[in-house]
Structure 1
Amino acid sequence: MKQNIVFNMPGRVWLFGIIFYLTGTLASAQISGSVFRDFDNDGARSTSVPTLTGARSTSAPVELGVGGITVRAYVELSTVPITTTTDANGAYSFSAAQIPANSRVRLEFANYPGGYFPAPHNGQGGGTTVQFVRAPASDVNTGINYPSDYCQPGPVKIVTPCFVNGDPLKTTDANGPIPTELQSANADAIVAFDYNAFSVKGDGNSSGNKAQFPADHLALGGQVGSVWGLALQRRTKQIFSAAVVKRHAGFGPLGSGGIYVTDLNSTSANPTTPFLSFPNDLGIQTGPDPHSGLPGNKLFPSNDPGPMQAMGRVGFGGTDMSEDDQTLYVVNLFDRRVYGVKIGVPAQKPNPATDVKSWAINGPGCPQGEFRPWALKVHHGKVYVGGVCSGEYAPTDASNLSTAVSNTLLSGHVYELDPSLPNGQFQHILEFPLSFERGSADLTGDCINFKYWQPWTDQFPAPCNANFVMWPQPMITDLEFDVNGHMIIGMLDRFGHLSGVANHDPNGNGYYDGFTGGDLLRAAPATGNQFALENNGTVGTLTSQNGVGNNQGPGGGEFYSDDAWVFLGNKAHDEINNGALSLIPGKNEVISSAYDPIDEIYKSAGWRVHNNTSGKAERGFVVFIDDAGSFGKASGLGDNKPICDVAPVEIGNRVWFDDNRNGIQDAYEPGIDGLVVLLYDGNTQVASTTTANGGQWYFNNSNVPGGLKFKYNYQVRMDMTQLTNYLLTASARTIRPTTRNGARLAATPTYALSPYQVGSGTDSGIRDSDAQIDGNTAFINVVTGDAGENNQNYDFSVYACPTIEAQPNGLTVCQGAPVGSLTVKAASLALTDKIKFVAFDTPQTDPTVIYSATNVLGIVTPSSSSTVAGGVLVSIDASAIQTNTNATVTTFKYVYAVVEPVSPMPSTCLPYDGIVITILPKARATATGGVVTCAQPSVTLTAALTDAQNTPITNGVYRWTGPNGFTSTEQNPVVTVAGTYTLSAATAACPDAFTTVTALVEQDEEIPVIVDAFGGVPDCTTCTVTISATVTPANSTLLWQGPNSFTANQATVDVSEPGFYVLTVTGPNGCTASTEVEVQPPSNEEPCPVFTGGTSLTLCSGNPVPPLSVTVLTEGTYAGSSVAFVYSATPLADPADAYNGMGTLLDTVAPTNAVATLSTTAIPTTNTSTQTIRRYVYAILSPTPADPTCRPVSQFVLSIDNPLCVPISSARIR
């Protein structure tokens, strides 16, 4: 997947647009800045902008903004960032509503495109991808770049091969040695010029032009022969060149498969040597040498027919180097494969078995032709190959100029390969027809009719004007990519390598001058990894300034429109491009090889520089002007390559004071300046630097002799003892050394290294500490990145562990008394720190246990108003501690002050101090009560106090409470009311630490109970009668008192004197009860007899009445009386009426053993009704007593049912 960074503002309004944007957006911003492409690796964004002329406004690169970069702002103590994203111009801002003024802010820049790395630090306008600012702040910028897009800001050379006529391996001919100045072997084959060169080379016959740009002579024909493709190994500054087939110009010593190396650092006169032969060293064929009959004298013509077929099919096409300089990529035209040859750094011949990979380029399937690759470009990790469908099998008659018309068989194609994939294959990313109308390579005679690409042919064409020959055959020979992701396509006319200057046709006839009409096209990124070719001068958002509708490109126009040559004031050539390209990112221009690149200079070769915004040409440069043995207008130059240095690498970032000890950089935590940081290679110090600008430190080419090595193990060290010169505090933006003495020196905290790499979450490595400790040395093990892979995320973090000191460390309280305020003095606290007070019942020494306590008394935020010498006082109200334990021995509570929160703190930093609370014991108290009785109506309560050793305490404090609101402060009060009395007793030392006990006063005033008391009547005047009583409790004392001063104390007493007798009973508790009984005088009356008996029974009709019996008790005068039974059919209203003659006498019966029984059938028992009938029998005394009050009666009730009755058992009644 390709990630494009697109510069998408039209060139005409770019400068105005960005000024307007920044002015309008940043005016209200609290913090603002931009993310830019730092092409020159200076860490600062240049002010150069694209222009329609001159390419850019200054010599510095145009460093475009980068959209889509995430910018995170952490404000003050917040751990949750405010996030925004850079816009298409790379700008971002945070409003005042998001970030208050004067806030300390930590900015992070993240989410770079793949393969991009931070620019180096620059204190004058460019920071790293982590920056610390205070709002408001503007121009908070950071640069990023793709390492291979780097080119040094200083002088840059551009290298190009020159083709020389003849056989470069011959120095003699039939006439003997060839003069040196005429030898092909001694002619320039590779040269270099200043990148900014214009006009004519310094050592040429410039026809009056002032020479300013002399050539660097890098290789002669005899060393390399004909080479086209170039690859630069930046790390070693070596240029690799690859053999190419060119008619009239022979190969070098390695033949068609030869690759040569030029050491640009060498001071030797011959810095170029053979490097690798594909056939001989790797066993890979590149095709036979097609040349024949070439002279060693560069002035002599030749037939050389072989290249007519071999050109584009033998030898090499494009060449490039991997971005890590390890692998040389080449297109082998013979087998149409791309080879990746691992040569290493420094370069050496590869092992053919292990160091060579290749990929087939199968092409799209070409009608009447073949896919012919040539162009090769390594860009941002991918390999791109360009080629054409040649149409070479189509019938062609090069002798008939009228056949040179539009041809739909021809098309251009570009493929993309990810060489890192194990089974990577080329993906087709661009296809376009080559049937569009173009300009002609020459506008004289019939040559003007060559306005279209023609199929490849091995024929030599007929001249189109005198000795001018041309037959434009398309080849895509070079690719470049602009900073906005556009693809630049260089096209070479194959016929340029099939012709020469004043040279023969393949049959040895004539002296022909060849013309080559290449092209320069552009394609913009489209969907996915696809590209879209320019159309009528418009590509992407850009439109050519002059090329729209000029009928010389796809869709009727061309973007790069200044590709014509003017001679004597008239346009003479319409297509002068020669297929080789160079593009340095940020320069807003593309260099294209060309013939006659400067108007009015005839038969020359060099390059033309095109503005990449407008498409116009900015300047031209001539390498040669019709020099002896040169190729004039027939592709006299090969590829060109700017010699950009390898991007240097930088490491570093910051030493900061980790105020909250969590190992994470917070916005408010300051950097520490003035610390010496050392760079070690193994045990050898190789560089040193001093922290500045907020604790920043860096190692790079400026302070490491020879520069940092790529992918190399270093160790960065810092002596921790330097910190003794510092008082670190988070209140300062930057900390610098402080001179201290006396008390301040004594109060210096001990500094330690923060926890190692504790970050988590996205991009955690950019905000944590990377150092470890060895003795007093903090160190970071560093592996440098490859070229340009800066890593400014190596941070040292130090913290001061807080100290806590109890003020004081103990106090004594009485039980039940509040503890009150507890105070500690704390020092070296973080701004976020609080003091937590925790309580234990037992002493603790393990800080982890103390810090994990759950019995928290409270958490207190320190106040600056409580600052004292050496720290800040922190107090808590400890009244929540329970001292009312009721213990009778001394008890203790242990309160510890710790730092809160604990979670970020290192395990080695768990400060605490304890306060021991001594709780004096309560005295042991006892209390006794008593019993209130009738005899003892008051009780004395008694109280006593003893200590834990049971020693009596004499100076106690006593508080009694009891029933009916009773209170007393006497030790032994007297009470009269029964109940529970509560004693709260304490010592005089702790008068509020009461021990509470109770004493019971019982009440025993229960009055004795006289259950029974009886008097009586004597039987005679001389008889006695017994008086008696039953009482409870049984142990009570009895006292009888009666007539004639009678007294007795027995329960039963015989008395004879009538009258009232008083019984007084006294209980054990002294309580009394009394009652009175009467003894009546004797009486002469006899007792009335008593009947018992009588019943109710049921009879069935007609059944006899069973015997009826009564018991009669008689005595005295009634002894011997009989019982009369009287019958009545109805009940008597008063049963005693039976004595008055009512009813029928049934019988009179004398009792036998006091029982009188009636047996009779005289009672009728027949019942003919359906209702029950009743009959009544009364037993009375006979004879009737004289005393009318003596009328004893017993009654019998007989119930008689009808004949169907069932007898019911009788029930006795009185």
Structure 2
Amino acid sequence: MAQISGTVFRDFNINGTQQTTNPIEPGLEGVTVKAFNASNAQVGATATTNASGAYTIAGITGNVRLEFTLPNTFYASNGKAGNTTVRFSTAPATGINLAANNPSDYCPGTPDVIVTCFVNGNPLGGGTSGTGDALVKFPYGIANASTTSPTHLANANEVGSVWGAAYQRETDKVFTAAFLKRHVGLLSAGLGGIFTTQLGTTPTTALLVDLETFSGAPHNIDLGQSVIGTRTLPAAANGSSEDPSAFGAVGKVGLGGMTISEDGRTLYVINLYQKKLISINIGVPAKTTITSADINTYTIPDPGCTNGASRPFAVRFYQGKVYVGTVCTAESSGGTQSNLHAYVYAFDPVATTFNTTAVANFSLNYPKGKVHTSEVPDKWLPWTDNFSVLYKGAGVGTPGAPRTMRPQPLLSDIDFVENGDMVLGFTDRSGHQLGYRNTGAGASNDSIFSGYIGGDLLRLAKGSGAWTLESGGNVSGLTGSANSQGPGGGEFYSDDQYSGQLVTGGPIVEIHQETYVGSSFTLPGSGILMATVMDPLSTWSGGTSWFSNTTGKYTKRYQIYQSTSDGGITFGKAAGLGALELTCDASPTEIGNRIWLDTNKNGIQDPGENGIGGVVVTLCDSTGATITTVTTDNNGNYYFTSVTGTDATGIKYGVVLKPFTKYRLKIPSTSGSNVLTGTDALGNDLADNDFALNGANGELTLITGGSGANIHTFDGGYQPAVGSIGNYIWKDANDNGKQDPTEAGQAGVIVQLVQGATVLATDTTDANGVYGFPNLSAGTYQVKILVTSLPAGCVISSKKDAAGVADSLDSDFDPTTGLSQTVTITPTGTGIAKDNPTIDGALYSPLGSIGNFVWKDTNNNGKQDSGEAGQAGIIVQLLQGSSVVDEDTTDVNGLYSFNNLTSDTYQVKLLLTSLPAGCVISSKPNAAGVADTLDSDFNAAGLSHLITIDTSKPAADTLRNNPHVDAALYSPKGSIGDYVWKDLNNNGIQDDGATGVKDVIVELYKGSTTGSPIAKDTTDASGAYGFTNLDAGDYYVKVVVTSLPVGCVISTKQDLGGDDTKDSDVSPVTGFSAKITLDPTLTGLSKDNPTIDAALYSPKGSIGD
């Protein structure tokens, strides 16, 4: 097994080549590197670059794709010369390097350095105080020992007292923040002023925002104006002032340090009074008006200080985090040096939360250099608001102004050097409580004093998420000086001192062992830390020193001001300078990457897949209008860069790529005989195709980040032109040949792609019923469903290509052969000519049915005769054994049906209770000579014969669908009769052999004996009569006496003998029978009553005596 190795380095000048000098470009630690084979499987272990940026991945053979994951805020710096975060290599290999950079580290050439300056007095008083320099610049590369005056940028009457400074590269603007310093006045914006200075030939300055205007909800910003009240300062820059309220408020009210996010969009500034971090959304380019919506505030963690308070001040944006520094001041009664402590906290601007565990945390109870060799202060002391406890040394000047000092630590600056070490700058608070030859405070306000500062620089070694304080002058393997002037008895930056003669002609000695004023920075790649210092060259001056980050020694010094006037226009050995800021150019931005041939059509740049040269990539604005184009090189690489250069194949120089702006990239939809491959196969954009087909182009939309936020993930893949066929087999529950919304796909069906008798590919439908045959070359195909794979009871629908159904929703398979229609694929075409996803198959489980007709058989012949209508409202039940499995009611046409029946034996039952009054089931089931389609199939109990359903039969087979289970209903009629006879023996019983009487009129009445008869009959020769076709009801029979033969009457012997079939039933008085009730639906006398007889006799007289 072989290995691949290389180095990831910080490419400060973004030329893609690692340099050891000018700039020094160290390795980048913490980059993860992974290798993937052609199957997109990781091979070898994940490597992580060490402190030198080196990595090695062992256990690799053949071609691999390497993926580099850079730390937050780092980007591949130069795609053409320094490669990108995706590399292709063949093991074994060395030197597989990557150039990377944080855009905020880009600072080519010799930039200018900006510094805020303090001018004594009231800048708004109309005097010389207002015309003094408050913001200046000078070249970073200025000569050593220079005293050349810096270039003016803003007067004191334009910004007032300001400390914090930040520079927006994209717009060449400097932002400065108001700062409370004794003897120096603020502008009308007061403690909350933040100013913008537009650099250029004639710099202009304006107020950006007064943060105190957001004193109400939701921000409730309070900077402590009530603490200082009204201050009285001189209009003349050489005037003196007591300014008593400011003395104790320094470092406690107003604004502290300020920084800008690496993307240039957000300012962060410290609210000293409320101990909060304030973020201000300024945008790129910077706004001119700040609203409440642009402001957010975040409470800074309080470490819990003993005998003092936590006082934040320093702030620095670095590699995606905001670092805030604070000190425990020991300012309360009883506070001692042992209570002094420093903390640094990290704020995540994305999560908008502080990590409440400090990333740096150490005591300030250490020996340090003397402020002045003739005086005592050689350590940090607790904060004080009492002028009288300051140390006063010998008077200097005429009249003598005592050296006044008390080193009080205020953590004013956080910086980071190239190896990731943290440098903390502590300004001496007393440098802002004191001036140069200015008035004391309180009881000493009638005397003049000159302040001396004793700040300090400390370096902390980078660890895993935390930093460790230097000790004995040693840090990160580097050796400083064991001079007993720092933690552990030494300090790394040991040249922050001023040496000179205490007396004329005397020896050169370290007069001031601590000269740091309070601000510093490292120009990335320079190996140098620049810091503001007291007495860089001459006494009573302020300027800068350059310190080696390797040795801690100074390399050059520059003097910005020197206080020579007794009035103290500038601040002598007090803190006369504020924050330093570099004016670096915005880092160029580059976008692009690679166009490749995706031979295996998986949408991923696999090892061994080559780039495609000659593809034109078009950069467009958000509307699609062309900006410029570039043609890919032989490796398929292309880049658009804002770097100035001469265009070449694969790279377009000088392209204006605005920060945070939407653009489009376009490539042709085809390249030769190749077409765009699938989009976003990996989902992480590192090594997949990002161009989606849009008409004749592949397109993507992008939004740039901040300046220098290079994006090398815009890859485009082409694959050999192929088509596809699919895609859906579904359960067509209603067998209509259409994909209805509630019908689900059928999993597990085996589908074959065939050409003639040749099976080219096989697929099985997934859980959603989807199948597919991708990567098809030009040709004619068919798809076949293997019927043996269908679920039990399922068949292919016979509703192929159902009329009126869209091709995307219909069924395309022949139910007999299982084959689809012929499908022609043209991979270079579009739409379904290329990819046909409409070859769908409907399955259904064939079911049977039973029906269907209940009719009124008016002639009760058991046959559906013409004119006999169906009977609505009859309840019909479907039985399986004795269980009712379904129920239906005949419609207006007498039809019923039971559908969706599985193979089984059934019986149909008519609910007799649902029959119309007077109706019964025909007594003529299965009438002889009547076809089954027309006969009645139900017995008198309402049950049909047993019916077997076999769903395997064709739909037209009555064994599957039986529409002939019909029922005849009829309304039966009754009758009344039947005999009038001559009762010779007048006993009321038919027993004397007498014969019937003809021509007797008999009437039938219904309901009552009143009214008119409903029918009449006349007895025949045998004496018989009869009334037929009678409905259910109550009837009366009447013998019309006027029709009786002469001499005959109705017998008085009514209802005698106990045998109703032989007696006489008619009243001799009225001629009416008793009530006769008929119900033709019943049997016997209830239906037909032939027992209503009448006896006649001829009464005889007698003679005798």
TM-score (norm 1): 0.55
Please tell me whether residue 119 in structure 1 is matched to residue 60 in structure 2. no
CA shift in 2, pair 1:290/1:564, >3 Å: farther
1:791-940 paired onto structure 2 within 5 Å: 791-801=711-721, 842=756, 850-852=760-762
Q: Give the drift of 1:699.
A: 1.4
Q: Give the drift of 1:556.
A: 1.6
Q: Give the drift of 1:614.
A: 2.5
Checking the alignment, whether the CA contact within 8 Å between 2:10 and 2:18 is kept in structure 1 is: no
Please tell me whether residue 186 in structure 1 is matched to residue 96 in structure 2. no
Matching residue's letter, 1:407: Q
Counterpart selection for 1:392 from 297, 310, 331: 331
Q: Give the drift of 1:530.
A: 4.0
Q: Distance in 2 between matches of 1:439 and 1:519?
A: 9
Q: How many residues align?
A: 722
Checking the alignment, whether the CA contact within 8 Å between 1:60 and 1:153 is kept in structure 2 is: no
Equivalent residue, structure 1, for 2:487? 554
Checking the alignment, whether the CA contact within 8 Å between 1:771 and 1:779 is kept in structure 2 is: yes
Matching residue's letter, 1:649: T
Please tell me whether residue 140 in structure 1 is matched to residue 96 in structure 2. yes
1:56-75 paired onto structure 2 within 5 Å: 58-72=21-35, 74=37
Please tell me whether residue 277 in structure 1 is matched to residue 216 in structure 2. no
CA shift in 2, pair 1:422/1:60, >3 Å: closer
1:1002-1081 paired onto structure 2 within 5 Å: none
Please tell me whether residue 46 in structure 1 is matched to residue 30 in structure 2. no
Q: Give the drift of 1:573.
A: 0.8
Partner deviation per Cα, 1:1060-1081 (whole Å, 9 max, x = no partner): xxxxxxxxxxxxxxxxxxxxxx
Equivalent residue, structure 2, for 1:608? 545
Structure 1, unaligned runs of 5 or more: 1-27, 49-57, 173-182, 205-214, 397-405, 725-749, 804-837, 855-870, 872-893, 912-1214
1:985-996 paired onto structure 2 within 5 Å: none
Q: Give the drift of 1:706.
A: 5.7
Equivalent residue, structure 1, for 2:351? 421
Q: Distance in 1 between matches of 2:168 and 2:47?
A: 36
Please tell me whether residue 697 in structure 1 is matched to residue 638 in structure 2. yes
Q: Give the drift of 1:253.
A: 3.3
Counterpart selection for 2:689 from 738, 760, 769: 769
Q: Distance in 2 between matches of 1:155 and 1:754?
A: 47
CA shift in 2, pair 1:469/1:110, >3 Å: same
Q: Distance in 2 between matches of 1:473 and 1:840?
A: 88
1:489-568 paired onto structure 2 within 5 Å: 489-506=424-441, 507-526=444-463, 529-539=465-475, 541-545=476-480, 547-548=481-482, 550-568=483-501
CA shift in 2, pair 1:669/1:457, >3 Å: same
SS of residue paired to 1:132:
strand
Equivalent residue, structure 2, for 1:738? none
1:22-421 paired onto structure 2 within 5 Å: 31-42=4-15, 44-48=16-20, 58-72=21-35, 74=37, 81-88=43-50, 89-93=52-56, 98-99=60-61, 105-123=63-81, 126-133=82-89, 138-148=94-104, 150-172=105-127, 183-201=128-146, 203-204=148-149, 215-264=150-199, 266-268=200-202, 270-280=203-213, 283=216, 284-288=221-225, 292-348=231-287, 353-361=292-300, 363-394=302-333, 407-421=337-351
Checking the alignment, whether the CA contact within 8 Å between 2:113 and 2:137 is kept in structure 1 is: yes
CA shift in 2, pair 1:409/1:132, >3 Å: closer
Q: Distance in 1 between matches of 2:583 and 2:230?
A: 32
CA shift in 2, pair 1:712/1:582, >3 Å: same
Equivalent residue, structure 2, for 1:759? 682
CA shift in 2, pair 1:565/1:774, >3 Å: same
Structure 2, unaligned runs of 5 or more: 396-401, 502-507, 644-651, 724-751, 765-777, 779-818, 837-1105
Q: Distance in 1 between matches of 2:763 and 2:484?
A: 86
Q: Give the drift of 1:697.
A: 0.5
Equivalent residue, structure 1, for 2:730? none
Equivalent residue, structure 2, for 1:1020? none
Q: Distance in 1 between matches of 2:41 and 2:833?
A: 24
SS of residue paired to 2:536:
coil
Checking the alignment, whether the CA contact within 8 Å between 2:377 and 2:406 is kept in structure 1 is: no
Matching residue's letter, 2:526: K
Q: Give the drift of 1:190.
A: 0.6
CA shift in 2, pair 1:224/1:785, >3 Å: closer
Q: Distance in 1 between matches of 2:147 and 2:613?
A: 52
Q: Distance in 2 between matches of 1:79 and 1:392?
A: 62
Q: Distance in 2 between matches of 1:430 and 1:72?
A: 36
Checking the alignment, whether the CA contact within 8 Å between 1:542 and 1:613 is kept in structure 2 is: no
Equivalent residue, structure 2, for 1:687? 628
SS of residue paired to 1:758:
coil
Partner deviation per Cα, 1:1137-1193 (whole Å, 9 max, x = no partner): xxxxxxxxxxxxxxxxxxxxxxxxxxxxxxxxxxxxxxxxxxxxxxxxxxxxxxxxx
SS of residue paired to 2:213:
helix
SS of residue paired to 2:79:
coil
1:435-450 paired onto structure 2 within 5 Å: 435-444=365-374, 447-450=375-378
Matching residue's letter, 2:33: T
Partner deviation per Cα, 1:795-821 (whole Å, 9 max, x = no partner): 222233489xxxxxxxxxxxxxxxxxx
Q: Distance in 2 between matches of 1:169 and 1:159?
A: 23
Q: Give the drift of 1:426.
A: 4.4
SS of residue paired to 1:308:
helix
CA shift in 2, pair 1:661/1:370, >3 Å: closer
Matching residue's letter, 1:278: L
Checking the alignment, whether the CA contact within 8 Å between 1:544 and 1:561 is kept in structure 2 is: no
Q: Distance in 2 between matches of 1:449 and 1:425?
A: 35
Matching residue's letter, 1:560: Y
Checking the alignment, whether the CA contact within 8 Å between 1:410 and 1:455 is kept in structure 2 is: no
Matching residue's letter, 1:70: V
Q: Distance in 2 between matches of 1:841 and 1:171?
A: 97
Q: Distance in 2 between matches of 1:261 and 1:282?
A: 22
Q: Distance in 2 between matches of 1:78 and 1:531?
A: 39
Checking the alignment, whether the CA contact within 8 Å between 1:163 and 1:637 is kept in structure 2 is: yes
Q: Distance in 2 between matches of 1:343 and 1:910?
A: 50
CA shift in 2, pair 1:853/1:427, >3 Å: closer
TM-score (norm 2): 0.60
Q: Give the drift of 1:637.
A: 0.3
Equivalent residue, structure 2, for 1:712? 661
SS of residue paired to 2:393:
coil
Q: Give the drift of 1:136.
A: 6.4
Identity %: 33
CA shift in 2, pair 1:672/1:435, >3 Å: same
Matching residue's letter, 1:677: V
Q: Distance in 2 between matches of 1:273 and 1:380?
A: 30
Checking the alignment, whether the CA contact within 8 Å between 1:282 and 1:352 is kept in structure 2 is: no
Equivalent residue, structure 2, for 1:455? 383
Q: Distance in 1 between matches of 2:654 and 2:30?
A: 36
Partner deviation per Cα, 1:436-485 (whole Å, 9 max, x = no partner): 111111113xx145444343233143521222111111111111233433
CA shift in 2, pair 1:841/1:168, >3 Å: closer
Checking the alignment, whether the CA contact within 8 Å between 1:106 and 1:130 is kept in structure 2 is: no
Checking the alignment, whether the CA contact within 8 Å between 1:383 and 1:418 is kept in structure 2 is: yes
SS of residue paired to 1:306:
helix
Checking the alignment, whether the CA contact within 8 Å between 1:67 and 1:85 is kept in structure 2 is: no
Checking the alignment, whether the CA contact within 8 Å between 2:60 and 2:91 is kept in structure 1 is: no
Q: Distance in 1 between matches of 2:582 and 2:43?
A: 43
Equivalent residue, structure 2, for 1:673? 613
Q: Give the drift of 1:638.
A: 0.2
CA shift in 2, pair 1:449/1:779, >3 Å: closer
